[in-house]
Structures are given as C-alpha cells and as structure tokens.
Structure 1
C-alpha cells in the first residue's frame, strides 16, 4: 500500500465487481475507459479476455470476475476497462462499474479477515468509510510469475 506520510491518506479508485466494492491506489491507475471490442487470443489463461489497441499500444485485458472465480455476467453500459500497471507491465482489467475516487485515512484500513472467500493474497486490506467496506486490491499480486510472462509476451 502506498502511503503519504504527512496526511496518512491514500487516494483510491473504487469499482464494483458483483455486489462488492473494491479499491485500487490511484497511483496504479493510468486511465479508465469504456468497454471496447477485445480481440480474443488462443491458448491464454481463461481469465485473459484478450487484447485491445489503445492508441497504437497493444494492451492485454484481464477479466477480474474470471480471475477471482466469480459468477460471470454479461458486460453492460457500466462495464469499464481500468488501465493499470502491474509490476511495470501495462494491463487492462474489466470491472462491472467504476464508482468514484475517494480519500481513505490509513487508520480506517484493517488487514483482510482470515476467512475471506476471495484468495487473500490479492487483498491488501479492507477500508471502512461510514457504512461501506471497500476491499483493497494488491494489483501487483493479481498475476503469478508465469502469468506475468504470458502477459509480457502478448504485449510484446
């Protein structure tokens, strides 16, 4: 988690997957785009949607619902591709909807509960804002080393 020492606040881009709200540090997010046609690639992991052409750059796209083994739903007008950096690699991740950008005091972040259904290696913590709980993703741990190599090969 990236902290600013003076304010002890982090900026998060929050988004929905199914009925849950997730957050990513804004420093990991390059841009947010509407869903565009994704070109499927053969022999890639099932959570790999394919690739998009973003202003001349080939960007691999990961479906977070599939990555987290959630129920798959059809994309709609709210579906977004968040362009993020994962360990130096630019990747798009599809989410059900981007909700907002928020500031979260680090004092309101707790470690992930040991009983979470979602593999806790992907989770940095749980943020509390009023009556909301926001699952804070560690985007650098979304891919295994082998999957990162696959993504690097795809994007050249």
Structure 2
C-alpha cells in the first residue's frame, strides 16, 4: 500500500488551505466533478457546506469519521470505510445544504468525492465549529476537533 507521501506524489495532491487535507481534481465535465482527498492527522476537513450534492467514497487507509448537520437539527455520524459489518459505509451521500466535517480515524485516509453539479469556489461556505455547536448542541462533542 502506498504511503500518504506516495499518494501525494503519484496523484498530484496539493494542500487545501481553508478546508484542510490534500486534494487533486481527477475528473470534471459540465455535469459533475471528482477529486481525490487525503487526510493525515492533524489535518481535518473543516466544517463546511456545499449548495450541491457531494458523494464520498473510501479508497484506502483508515476509515473517516464524518459529522453531518442537517437543517432542522438532525445530526448524523457516518463512518466512511470498508468494514460494513461494523457499520461503516464505503460510500456516503451528503445532500446539498448539509454542514459536514470529517477526520481520519488513523494515520491517514484517502477518499474520493463527486460533486453534482461540478464544484465551484462559490458553492462552498465555511462556518466556525462554535457557531455550529450553538445551533446543534447535540453535536458539540463531535465538533471538539475544531473548537480548539
């Protein structure tokens, strides 16, 4: 299995300054876009939401703990990974308008995402974990990695 540095070199991954982690676009057309996304602690995927659908798929490494905050107060905590018997899912769909954040549960995780319609810089919004915790108090503990 390649190391995070080997994935970075072979896939041309670059730092993702605002969100965290490393990424590279792997495909794009007028209907959708796809990226590779690598998280290696202490990197995390900062709380953000898109105004469009995003589909995550686990590719390699440790599972990814995700936090999804839905309008109306619902909280979901899927784990993106290969061990379906343990409740992990190899694919997680994040609907448009749902706040999301994620962390690797191990030394590193490589995932892919597909965004429909294609990602644009104006399709994403970031928000502080403190503001999200105020609105979703049941998720305060989950937001701890971003409350520091």
- The answer to whether TM tops 0.5 is no
Larger radius of gyration: 1
TM-score (norm 1): 0.26
- Between Structure 1 and Structure 2, the one with more strand by share is 1
